[in-house]
């Protein structure tokens, strides 16, 4: 006598009810990856226009420092109020930082905007992992983590032409390497940098 096990519908990350969450998490990762790429490409031209080469490093350091704080705060808040609200707050702060930096009249304001972005990004990072722990079964969590880990690389691969074009534009503005030595940036900055230091 043959017995057949009752088929069990396998939970997958790309089918309801998890599909929307998976797509949302992927979009968050891709957006932050594109933002990091854009900042690294455009910052030399920004320094040339606004001056204050001494704050060049702080545009990146401020983001990383507040990102650590945001990760710490976001983890606790995700446990307390749930990851959905933390993701909403993180998205709002991250977008606000983009707006502040985009309309910044000086490098100091850009650093402040980057700090705001970093905090929002930290909230998003923690809340995303909290959402994975809550919504996905343990056996499929590695699949989600693999997808999120591969997205930045896929994004860079697929937008290589756009990235190279943006770099060419930055080189045209600066007349030097995109990831240049600070002395080269200072020479490229010219009068604007001198005015910023005065």
pTM of the model: 0.70
pLDDT of residue 33: 85
**Which class for 74: exposed (0-12), middle (13-18), buried (19 or more C-beta within 10 A)?**
buried
The SS3 assignment for 142 reads helix
Q: Which domains does the chain have, with CATH numbers?
A: 20-45+53-193 (1.20.1250.20)
Taking only the tens place, the pLDDT of each residue in 58-99 is 999 999 999 999 999 999 999 999 999 999 999 999 999 999
Cβ neighbors of 174 (< 8 A, separation 6 or more) are 44, 45, 48, 180, 185, 188
Residue pair 53/142 in contact (Cβ under 8 Å)? The answer is no
Tokens of 106: 């000086």
Q: Give 14-20's long-range contacts (Cβ < 8 A, gap of 24+).
A: 18/135, 18/136
Mean pLDDT, all residues of the chain: 79
Separation of CA 82 from chain center: 22
Q: What are phi and psi of 56, to 5 degrees?
A: -55, -50
Instruction: Map tokens 């060419």 to a residue.
Output: 168
């Amino acid at each position: 006598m043959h017995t057949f096990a009752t088929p069990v519908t396998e939970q997958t990350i790309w089918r309801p009810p998890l599909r929307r969450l998976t797509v949302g998490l992927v979009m968050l990762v891709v957006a932050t990856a594109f933002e990091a790429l854009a900042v690294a490409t455009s910052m030399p031209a920004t320094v040339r226009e606004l001056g204050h080469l001494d704050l060049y490093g702080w545009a990146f350091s401020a983001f990383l420092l507040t990102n650590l704080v945001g990760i710490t705060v976001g983890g606790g808040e995700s446990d307390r109020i749930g990851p959905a609200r933390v993701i909403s707050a993180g998205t709002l702060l991250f977008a606000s930082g983009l707006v502040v930096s985009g309309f910044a009249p000086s490098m100091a304001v850009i650093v402040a905007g980057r700090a705001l972005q970093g905090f929002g990004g930290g909230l998003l990072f923690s809340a995303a992992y909290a959402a994975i722990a809550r919504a996905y079964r343990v056996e499929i969590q590695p699949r989600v983590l693999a997808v999120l880990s591969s997205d930045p690389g896929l994004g860079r691969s697929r937008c290589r032409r756009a990235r190279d074009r943006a770099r060419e534009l930055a080189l045209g503005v600066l007349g030097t390497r995109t990831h240049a030595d600070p002395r080269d940036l200072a020479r490229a900055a010219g009068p604007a940098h001198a005015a910023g230091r005065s």
